[in-house]
Amino acid sequence: MTGRMKQIAGKLLAGGVTACGLAFALNWYSWIPFWAFAAGVVLAFPLAVLSLFLWWMADEGEGDIPFIGY
C-alpha cells in the first residue's frame, strides 16, 4: 500500500512543481499578468511542499521521520 501512496504523492509533487514552474515561465515572458502569476504560485507551492512531505514519509522500507525527527 505504501508504494501506491508514494506514487500518488509523487504525482502531486510533480504537478505542484510543474504549476509553479509554468507560472514563473509565463510571467517571465509576460504572457500572464502578475496577479495570475501570484495566484498560481500561492496555490501550487503549498501543494508541492505538502506532497513532498507525504512522498518522503511514504517510504517502502522501515519508518523514518526526517522532518520532525528525534
CA distance 4 to 45: 23
| Each residue's pLDDT tens digit, 11-66 | 999 999 999 999 999 999 999 999 999 999 999 999 999 999 888 887 666 555 56
pLDDT at 35: 95
Q: Is 47 inside a domain boundary? A: yes
Q: Is 29 inside a domain boundary? A: yes
Distance (Å) of CA 15 to CA 21, 32, 56, 61, 68? 10, 19, 16, 25, 25
Q: Is 13 inside a domain boundary? A: yes
pLDDT at 39: 94
pLDDT at 67: 62
pLDDT at 38: 95
Q: Is 51 inside a domain boundary? A: yes
Q: Is 37 inside a domain boundary? A: yes
Reading the block at residue 34, the C-alpha cell is 502578475
Q: Is 70 inside a domain boundary? A: no
Q: Is 44 inside a domain boundary? A: yes
- For 12, the domain range is 2-57
Query: How many structural domains are present in the chain?
Result: 1
- Answering whether pTM is above 0.85, one says no
* Angle 5-12-61 from CA coordinates, rounded to 5°: 30
The whole-angstrom distance between residue 51's C-alpha and the CA centroid of its chain comes to 5
CA distance 22 to 49: 17
